[in-house]
Amino acid sequence: MKPEKILSLFLVFTLCFTALIGCRQKINDLPMDFEDDGKPYELVYYLIYNDANPPQDLVTVQNELSKVLKKKINSTIKLQAYTLAEYTSKLSGVIAAGVKFDVCFTSPDINPYITNVQREAFYPLDNLLPEYAPETWEQIPSQIWEQTRVNGHIYGSVNEQIFPRTYSFNARSALNIKDFLSEKYGGVSTDEIYTLGIDAFAFLEEYLGWLKANDRGNGGKVYYVDTASSMLAYYGFDDLGTGMVTPGAVRITDGSHEVVNQFESQEYKNLLNVFYDWKAKGYLDDSVSSFDLTPDSTWKPGYLSGNLLRLSEPHYFTSYVIGSMNAISSTSGNPARAMKFIELLRTDEEVHNILQFGVEEVHYIKDPEKPNRIGAFLPGSGYDNKNFGWGLGCEFISYLLPEQEDNQWELVKEINDNTPISDIIGFNFDASAVKQKIADCKAVVNEYLVAFEKAQFKNKDEKYAEFINRLKVAGADDIIREKQRQLNEFLAAKA
């Protein structure tokens, strides 16, 4: 055979093989209702573990939890823990191979929600939720349930944590933020600084200047600001669930529901000027890879020693309200039982805290004076998922950590309840019509964004014009038009 012939034969084979891989059993016809037969069942739960190494002592936790679940829902449990960094890749394999399991964690970026729904990896929860998890169904506001809907169905059970996000800055403890605040602002706390009504960037500039003048922080040398585009959130842009790197965002402050290109906005131009100004003053040092001062959206009240500078009012963003969910696998043998387990995760203190802290006396000791506060963690105990309360079901039933204030969960609940839910919550952008254009735009944005934010371009204005132009060529306007059309439809349907 000639090499060309062999080559073409091989191509045919590979194509056939790839096509076969694409075929999975269709599960569209999964029954929406599932009757729980009440027989003993072993649940399989892919736990996300918030540390660098998987836990050494998972077995003790698994046995203890099985004992509790046996009593409550006649089930035992098999746990498999993967770290935050590895969870997505591990689960994508598990799901692709059709491994039998019941419950897993999902969010827009970790074990991506929409992708997995499209792969038909998750079981629809519309009927299971009211029947087997009534408290969860009742307590989460209906707008937030709307946000989880894909093609009209709910595939994820929302975990209760802090829903509205607050623009804030994370200052390394080495940067002595507290000294700065006591010297210049009469010792207001990092949580209160926003109440003074000063502009965040003016404040940050003053702080950076103070650091430089006083030679504080790492030898007075390194003030790296990892700016990222999340800074736009401070100006009140909601990216409509596609991430800030995709053009098309809505200003939440003026209530106009007009989708604009956030990179063309005056706010973004101002931001660039700020960066170039900081660079000229020597506050930005892009030769350093570790971040000393970073924007952050995980602020929540009630930490005794926080270094997070709160700089804005909390707000409900479409991408963040579904930031943490539990989903039931479409391979589950008993979705109803899995739903009951998710309900327990959310409402049962015992179940939740075993998964978060392990077993009492084995992995931690309680505070002798307060029943729902951790006294100490036993060193080398082999299980400690303490920083993952936000991903297990309901953070409000977690035991308190030593550094948390007694009323932290009341404070968080207050923010959840008192922040008005933005009227675009519940809007889900269907990107299928402009998929290619989004990919093209992302490529362009990634090419320019970092260099802009580190103020690396010498001819900034020229590059900026070029950037906007290339975005237009890549189809930014079409994406914006599509977003606007769908948003208008959503608002019209709601009215």
Q: How far is the CB of 220 from other proteins (least distance, A)?
A: 10
Fill in the amino acid letter for 144: I
Helix (H, G, I), strand (E, B) or coil at 243: coil
Q: How far is the CB of 353 from other proteins (least distance, A)?
A: 16
Pairing mode, if any, of strands 41-49 and 103-106?
parallel
Q: How far is the CB of 13 from other proteins (least distance, A)?
A: 10
Long-range contacts (CB closer than 8 Å, 24 or more residues apart) made by 179-188: 179/216, 180/207, 180/210, 180/211, 183/210, 184/210
Instruction: Tokens for 387, please give them.
Output: 């920083």
Q: What are phi and psi of 55, to 5 degrees?
A: -65, 145
Q: How far is the CB of 201 from other proteins (least distance, A)?
A: 21
| 36/292 with CB nearer other proteins | 292
| 171/434 with CB nearer other proteins | 171
Nearest to 155 by CA among 338, 407, 352: 338
Residue matched to tokens 């009227």 = 423
Task: Name every residue whose Cβ is closer than 8 Å to that of residue 381 and which is 6 or more positions away in sequence.
Answer: 57, 358, 362, 363, 364
CA 163 → CA 248, 403, 406, distances in Å? Answer: 23, 21, 20
| 98/130 with CB nearer other proteins | 98
Q: How far is the CB of 143 from other proteins (least distance, A)?
A: 29
Q: How far is the CB of 175 from other proteins (least distance, A)?
A: 10
Q: How far is the CB of 194 from other proteins (least distance, A)?
A: 18
Query: What crossing angle do the helices spanning 460-474 and 266-281 adopt, rounded to 10°?
Result: 140
Q: How far is the CB of 308 from other proteins (least distance, A)?
A: 7
| 185/377 with CB nearer other proteins | 377
Q: How far is the CB of 401 from other proteins (least distance, A)?
A: 5
CA 207 → CA 228, 286, 319, distances in Å? Answer: 19, 19, 30
Task: Name every residue whose Cβ is closer than 8 Å to that of residue 367 and which is 6 or more positions away in sequence.
Answer: 373, 374, 375, 402
Fill in the amino acid letter for 490: F
| 51/423 with CB nearer other proteins | 51
Beta bridge partners of 106: 325
Contact 249, 238 (CB under 8 A): yes
| 238/384 with CB nearer other proteins | 384
| 266/287 with CB nearer other proteins | 287
Q: Find the Cα–Cα–Cα–Cα dihedral 179, 182, 184, 189, rounded to 10°.
A: 100
Helix (H, G, I), strand (E, B) or coil at 27: coil
Task: Name every residue whose Cβ is closer than 8 Å to that of residue 449 and which is 6 or more positions away in sequence.
Answer: 229, 245
Contact 61, 353 (CB under 8 A): no
| 2/39 with CB nearer other proteins | 2
Contact 270, 310 (CB under 8 A): no
| 3/152 with CB nearer other proteins | 3
Q: What are phi and psi of 22, to 5 degrees?
A: -60, -25
| 141/333 with CB nearer other proteins | 333
Q: How far is the CB of 221 from other proteins (least distance, A)?
A: 7
d(CA 480, CA 248): 5
Q: How far is the CB of 258 from other proteins (least distance, A)?
A: 37
| 89/139 with CB nearer other proteins | 89
Helices (H), 330-407: 335-347, 349-357
Helix (H, G, I), strand (E, B) or coil at 137: helix
Please give the residue ranges that form the binding site for other proteins (CB under 8 A): 1, 3, 6, 10, 14, 21, 50-54, 56, 80, 82-83, 85-86, 89-90, 92-93, 96-99, 170-173, 218-219, 221-222, 290, 303-308, 374, 377, 380, 384, 386-387, 401-403
H or E element that contains 337: helix 335-347
Q: How far is the CB of 93 from other proteins (least distance, A)?
A: 4
| 252/374 with CB nearer other proteins | 374
